[in-house]
């Protein structure tokens, strides 16, 4: 795989899971180089990439500073938060809440909204049962997020890796045929995060696909 003189090599693509890590790296200001892995061309199956990401998915990082190689966006976010002491409380209830909502993203938002993209956006009309099932699940998850954000600014109180993991998936609300106006707390949270300069920079990695979608 290409390496660089940067502290961290990030292997990524212009998808929600990839953007989680570029946004995090921009937020904490670590020196990194992004290497595109074009999943439309099956570059994720290259033997060199499989050595750092055996599940053949982006994102993955190599941190030359600590001699660490990692796949799985949730694990990478926790690693970077612990390395920098940023965006996750170091102990107590606040740390647990951050991990709780991060795991909710990894087990719910990511896999379920990913299915919505496949069935609702890319293959409409081919599997009505799946379309209905995953659209219902999307509405349920958006409702859970809206309720979570009713009495707090960010998912775990302060802005954290839970928000960084979730926001890029919500930025595909148009793929999911979701109307953010139905979820006013999600909309307020979405716009606040979209306004962050680090998020705007991270969103454009590894290439600029256009502006952040606005509701
Ligand atoms: N649980 C993984 C999911 C990563 C994932 O699904 N990556 C997609 C792009 S968003 C991918 O690389 N797909 C290529 C493939 O499935 O072959 C994570 O959070 O890092």
Residue nearest to atom 8 of ligand 1 (CA): 57
pLDDT at 160: 98
Alpha carbons within 13 angstroms on the beta-carbon side of residue 25 total 30
pLDDT at 75: 98
pLDDT higher than threshold 90 for residue 2: no
Q: Answer for the pair 54, 25: CB distance below 8 angstroms, yes or no.
A: no
Distance, CA of 179 to chain centre: 20
How would you label 86-114 residue by residue, b for 16+ Cβ within 10 Å and e otherwise? bbbbeeeeeeebbbebbebbbebbbebbb
* Closest to 16 in 3D by CA, of 214, 211, 188, 205: 205
Query: pLDDT above 70 covers what percent of the chain?
Result: 100
> Ligand 1 centre and the CA of 64: distance in Å?
23
Q: Could you tell me which residues come within 8 angstroms of residue 153 by beta carbon, excluding any fewer than 6 positions away?
A: 159, 189, 192
> Which helix or strand (DSSP H or E) is residue 48 part of?
helix 47-52
pLDDT at 6: 86
**pLDDT tens figures, 8-47:** 999 999 999 999 999 999 999 999 999 999 999 999 999 9
Cis amide linkage into residue 67, ω under 30° from 0: no
Mutate which of 12, 17, 23 to test ligand 1's pocket (most atoms within 8 Å of Cβ)? 17
pLDDT higher than threshold 90 for residue 125: yes
What is the atom index within ligand 1 of the atom nearest the CA of 17? 10
Q: Which residues line ligand 1 (CB under 6 A)?
A: 15-17, 39, 44, 56-59, 72-74, 110
Residue nearest to atom 12 of ligand 1 (CA): 57
**pLDDT tens figures, 144-183:** 999 999 999 999 999 999 999 999 999 999 999 999 999 9
Residue nearest to atom 2 of ligand 1 (CA): 72
Question: What residues are paired with 68 via a beta bridge?
Answer: 63
């Amino acid at each position: 795989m290409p390496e660089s003189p940067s502290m961290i090599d990030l292997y990524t693509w212009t998808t929600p899971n990839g953007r989680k890590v570029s946004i995090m790296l921009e937020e904490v200001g670590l020196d990194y180089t992004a290497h595109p892995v074009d999943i439309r061309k099956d570059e994720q199956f290259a033997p060199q990439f499989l050595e750092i990401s055996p599940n053949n998915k982006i994102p993955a990082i190599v941190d030359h500073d600590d001699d660490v190689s990692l796949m799985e966006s949730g694990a990478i976010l926790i690693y970077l938060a612990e390395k920098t002491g940023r965006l996750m409380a170091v102990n107590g209830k606040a740390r647990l809440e951050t991990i709780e909502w991060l795991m909710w993203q990894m087990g719910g938002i990511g896999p379920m909204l990913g299915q919505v993209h496949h069935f609702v956006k890319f293959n409409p009309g081919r599997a009505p049962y799946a379309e209905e099932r995953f659209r219902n699940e999307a509405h349920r998850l958006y409702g859970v997020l809206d309720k979570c954000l009713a009495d707090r600014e960010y998912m775990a109180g302060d802005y954290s890796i839970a928000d960084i993991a979730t926001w890029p998936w919500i930025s595909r609300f148009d793929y999911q045929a979701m109307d953010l106006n139905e979820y006013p707390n999600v909309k307020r949270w979405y716009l606040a995060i979209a306004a962050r300069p680090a998020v705007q920079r991270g969103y454009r990695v590894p290439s600029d696909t256009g502006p952040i979608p606005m509701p």
